A = this chain, B = another copy of it.
């Protein structure tokens, strides 16, 4: 039937999210028969990326540099810090063009049941950053899901004692929705309509 190496390739392609057995098969045949150069390119870039991409030392987003393009850009507003839960959320906000400040990217959300506490998602590093930078406002842009809300409240409690304005993006994002999939207009609305965190 299928050769061992071909079976291995189909299996390996299934690590990709959303790729089932049929898609993996189709991808393998396509690369081997019709796009060997594209496949080689993918193999090389993937190895390079996994080897060299790590966290930005300041905001924890994905980058191969010590500091990402946003953290190293002096024209970004250093007095506002937006907390997001993933690189996809950060990218969605950047693409909306509605925000000019800095970010801090958590690694997901608090989930005590899965043993994911504040340190695992980077909240300690967030606190260090807030203490070190002249931050006047922290915008909590965690997803409006149960875990996102819980994470936002946890951070809000930690910052409550400090004289920092604490806001939460609010209007326009449907409850239970994922920030990553919201259009730019809605995100702009959510930023402009942000409310004091209670």
Q: Does A187 contact B (CB under 8 A)?
A: no
When distances are taken between beta carbons in the complex, the residues of chain B under 8 Å from A35 are 15
A5 engages B47 (CB within 8 Å): no
- Contact A29 B88, beta carbon cutoff 8 Å: yes
User: Interface segment, A60-68, A129-137, A152-160, A164-172?
Assistant: A60-68
Q: Are B65 and A26 in contact (CB under 8 A)?
A: no
Looking at chain A's contact residues, is the secondary structure mostly helix, strand, loop, or mixed? Answer: helix
Q: A183 to chain B: closest CB distance in Å?
A: 13
Q: How many residues belonging to A are interface residues under a CB distance threshold of 8 Å? A: 56
Residues of B within 8 A of A53 (CB): 3, 5-6, 9, 32
Q: Does A91 contact B (CB under 8 A)?
A: yes
Q: Does A162 contact B (CB under 8 A)?
A: no
Give bound CA distance, A12 to B35, whole Å: 12
Task: Apart from A8-B45, A29-B88, A31-B50, list 5 A-B contacts with CB within 8 A.
Answer: A17-B30, A31-B46, A32-B53, A33-B86, A43-B50
Task: Identify 23 residue pairs between A and B in the complex whose beta-carbon atoms are under 8 Å apart, listed by A's number.
Answer: A1-B91, A1-B95, A2-B62, A3-B63, A5-B48, A5-B49, A11-B45, A12-B41, A13-B16, A15-B31, A17-B30, A26-B88, A28-B49, A29-B62, A29-B88, A31-B49, A32-B53, A33-B62, A36-B50, A42-B43, A43-B46, A43-B50, A44-B47
